[in-house]
């Protein structure tokens, strides 16, 4: 039985290293076309000054920040944390789809794996 878009439960997973807070209004307006953002998480090293601009958006949109310290420069610790959470949610929550918000291609295999499980995947990001 197909659920209409207004009833679909979606997980929104945001890579704060590759997304700007200025996109949030438009992002959630677009996501509302596909379903309800029932899980909203954002991943980054919140001790870094470059993420401080996210603070107001997190509160306003009830986005849960997930702390991932950057122990080694240049490694994808934030990406790994997002991927692990996505797989946990895939098997523990009754979700109809996932919205991956990032402006890089690091989540291509994750998206394929989620689709293999019969869930929709929506990608959001800026591309140059």
- CB environment 28-46: b (16+ within 10 A), e (fewer): beebeebbebebbbbbbbb
Q: Which of 100, 90, 93 is nearest to 41 (CA)?
A: 100
CA 59 to chain centre: 16
Domains and CATH numbers, the chain: 5-124 (3.40.50.1010)
Environment class of residue 89 by beta-carbon count within 10 Å: exposed (0-12), middle (13-18) or buried (19+)? middle
Q: Give residue-wise pLDDT tens across range 72-113.
A: 665 578 899 999 999 999 999 999 999 999 988 889 999 999
Quick check: pTM over 0.95?
no
């Amino acid at each position: 039985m197909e659920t209409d878009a207004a009833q679909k439960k979606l997980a929104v997973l945001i890579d704060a290293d590759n997304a700007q807070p200025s996109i949030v209004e438009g992002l959630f307006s677009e996501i509302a076309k596909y379903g309800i953002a029932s899980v909203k998480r954002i991943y980054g090293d919140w001790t870094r000054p470059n993420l401080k601009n996210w603070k107001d958006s997190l509160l306003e949109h009830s986005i849960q920040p997930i702390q991932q310290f950057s122990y080694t420069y240049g490694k994808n610790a934030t990406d790994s944390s997002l991927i692990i959470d996505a797989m946990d949610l895939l098997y523990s929550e009754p979700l109809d789809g996932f919205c991956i918000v990032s402006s890089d291609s690091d989540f291509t295999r994750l998206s394929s794996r989620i689709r293999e499980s019969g869930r929709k995947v929506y990608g959001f990001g800026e591309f140059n």
